[in-house]
């Protein structure tokens, strides 16, 4: 007999799988596949060519074009170093909130969709609903492009993709792009009393980070007023940001550091090209490298692009926006500064919108939660979608 779950019960099952990005998500995906196939829904796994991870796609409804994709990622961010008061991998309900890693970002949306599979099957769908579940969204939206390509041929082409990231069920039609870079500075070790004969990788990294910081400050000063008249003005903040999140290097206080590594993310407003920013940073690093190589030819700066995620662009008369507004009643304009897979679906030829339960303010936090009210709002939204596609 096919297993059924309420949305909260399904969320409890999904949260119980530790799918932090450095782990495999296959146990979770095997559960989802078994659940869907228990209801007679064929589910296809798309394996990563290197890692022990998979994406999944499935379809419910008639084999016709024009359907709607429900897109969600299965990976979550780490909990190490965070002061949780509940078990992050066990759903805890308290005071109208559901606590657990991934409840908000973004297993809540996927749990609601999966719990409604029996209703989808019972409905007289005129256009299909397709599930698209990915991995490694949190480390650069890596899995969406190959999944989009994989599901394009065997499934009838859908028209719309709804990315269920937490928006408090507001209809988000644009978000910033992001590039993630890793910089490795190789210096030359000498006693610090003779530092002029060596190259301190830490101090060179500081010069690069100072440039990164200066760009963000300059962008902030040049930012447009938040009056909505300029494309980037509605973003918070309304400028491109460059940020260093991690740094490590050096061996002792009296040795010029041989190595220093740091990570950078660049989040661009729509009218600025992320590739342009990467090029400017590489050009600055090349100038710095030329100087340090005059001191020691072994010194160098290596910049690795870990990920580049295109932003979501507002669509003129976009069918995804029209559908989401019809289902939610939200007619306000919303954009966000965090990245999602929406732009990648747009690049794949789909009309895309970001709309899901929960608040981004709870994402990545200790004691992450989604409110019961938001779960109910998300469930009402997807039930309306089923009804809409049955007409």
Active site residues: 75, 137
Handedness of CA 203, 204, 208, 214 (dihedral sign): positive
d(CA 281, CA 163): 31
d(CA 114, CA 96): 22
d(CA 13, CA 15): 6
| DSSP for 79-124, written as a single string | -TT---SS-TTS-EEETTEEESTTIIIIIHHHHHHHHTHHHHHHS-
> Which residue, 162, 53, 234, is CA-closest to 385?
162
Half-sphere exposure at residue 18, Cβ-oriented, CA atoms within 13 angstroms: 8
| DSSP for 172-232, written as a single string | EEEE-EEEEEEEEEE-B--BGGGGGGSB-HHHHHHHHHHHHHHHHHHHHHTPPPSSSSSGG
d(CA 139, CA 168): 23
> Which residue, 243, 134, 118, is CA-closest to 180?
243
Residues 6+ apart with CB under 8 A from 78: 20, 21, 22
């Amino acid at each position: 007999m096919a297993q059924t779950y309420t949305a909260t019960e399904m969320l409890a099952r999904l949260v119980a799988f530790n799918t932090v990005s450095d782990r495999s998500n296959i146990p979770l995906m095997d559960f989802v596949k078994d659940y869907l196939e228990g209801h007679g829904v064929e589910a296809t796994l798309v394996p990563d060519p290197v890692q022990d991870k998979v994406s999944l796609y499935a379809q419910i409804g008639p084999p016709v074009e024009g359907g709607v994709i429900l897109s969600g990622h299965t990976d979550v961010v780490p909990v190490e170093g965070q002061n949780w008061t509940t078990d992050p991998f066990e759903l805890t309900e308290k005071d109208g909130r559901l606590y657990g890693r991934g409840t908000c970002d973004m297993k809540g949306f996927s749990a609601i969709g999966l719990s409604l599979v029996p209703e989808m099957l019972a409905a007289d769908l005129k256009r299909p609903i397709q599930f698209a579940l990915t991995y490694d969204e949190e480390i650069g939206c890596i899995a969406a492009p190959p999944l989009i390509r994989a599901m394009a041929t065997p499934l009838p082409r859908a028209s719309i993709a709804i990315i269920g990231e937490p928006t408090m069920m507001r209809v988000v039609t644009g978000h910033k792009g992001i590039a993630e870079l890793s910089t490795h500075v190789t210096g030359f070790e000498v006693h610090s009393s003779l530092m002029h004969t060596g190259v301190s990788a830490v101090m060179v990294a500081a010069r690069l980070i100072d440039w990164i910081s200066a760009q963000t400050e300059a962008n902030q000063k040049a930012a447009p007023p938040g009056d909505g008249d300029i494309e980037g003005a509605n973003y918070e903040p309304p400028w491109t940001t460059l940020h260093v999140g991690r740094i490590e290097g050096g061996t002792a206080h009296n040795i010029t550091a041989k190595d220093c590594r740091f990570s950078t993310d660049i989040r661009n407003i729509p009218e600025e090209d992320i590739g342009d920013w990467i090029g400017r940073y590489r050009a600055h690093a090349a100038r710095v490298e030329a100087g340090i190589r005059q001191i020691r030819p072994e010194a160098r700066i290596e910049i690795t692009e870990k990920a580049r995620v295109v932003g979501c662009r507002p669509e003129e008369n976009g069918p995804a926006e029209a559908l989401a507004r019809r289902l939610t009643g939200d007619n306000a304009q919303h954009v966000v500064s965090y990245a999602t897979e929406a732009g990648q679906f747009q690049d794949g030829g789909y009309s895309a919108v970001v709309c899901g339960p929960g608040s981004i303010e709870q994402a990545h936090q200790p004691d992450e939660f989604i409110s019961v009210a938001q779960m109910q709002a998300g469930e009402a939204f997807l039930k309306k979608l089923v009804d809409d596609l049955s007409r």
